[in-house]
Amino acid sequence: MSLCLLLLCFLAPQPCLVPKDNRIKTGFKPPVAKQLGCFFDVYNARLFANKPSLPEDFLSDAEPLKLELCYLKAISANMFIEGANKVLPKTLTATLQNEVNRLHQSYQPVEPEDCYVLEYTPQSGTQLKLNNQTVFSSQVEGFKAVYFGVWLGENPLSESLKSSLLVQLISSHIVR
């Protein structure tokens, strides 16, 4: 596995379905890549909201939100879980921890050009979709803040990604 990741560092970027002007350099490195000391982009990210700017409490259950992650490299389900666990709160209620566990069980490996979408609406709750297919859904109050927090919370995977997402917010009508 280490050899494969080391070789990925030298591969040309994969084609991406996200228009170049909407791409955000993530700076996200999978945990194994950090150990090898190599750096490569893993995904392109876009954040959507109903408003051109977000209120301070945008992670509350009152605000619709959508995060799209389109992958440039193949990633295993275990790498998603490992990355999320590094920044998820260490203490959660039993109900929220159960939802995190259920979402983690729903992760599937991705290939280049696959896209995960994490979407929240007050009517539907939090949904995770892989290539437009719902793989997880939760109506549990507060779960949105917990899982969107992986990218947008107080302790995100990457502060620079969080800042880029919030600056390049795409205003669109999410609520259906």
pLDDT at 175 over 60: no
The answer to whether residue 9 is domain-embedded is no
Q: How many Cβ atoms from other residues are within 10 Å of residue 21's Cβ?
A: 6
- pTM listed for this prediction: 0.77
The partner residues of 115 in beta bridges, in order of sequence, read 70
Residue range of the domain that includes 82: 25-171
The answer to whether residue 78 is domain-embedded is yes
Beta-sheet pairing, 170-171 with 43-49: parallel
Q: How far apart are CA 144 and CA 122, in angstroms?
A: 10
Tokens of 130: 């892989």
41: domain CATH number is: 3.50.70
HSE value, Cβ hemisphere, 13 Å, CA-based, for 60: 7
The string of pLDDT tens digits covering residues 11-36 is 333 333 334 444 444 444 444 333 33
The string of pLDDT tens digits covering residues 77-120 is 999 999 999 999 999 999 999 999 999 999 999 999 999 999 99
> Average pLDDT for residues 43-64, to the nearest whole number?
90
Q: CA nearest 143: which of 126, 162, 118?
A: 126
The answer to whether residue 15 is domain-embedded is no
The answer to whether residue 116 is domain-embedded is yes
Structural domains counted in the chain:
1
The answer to whether residue 10 is domain-embedded is no
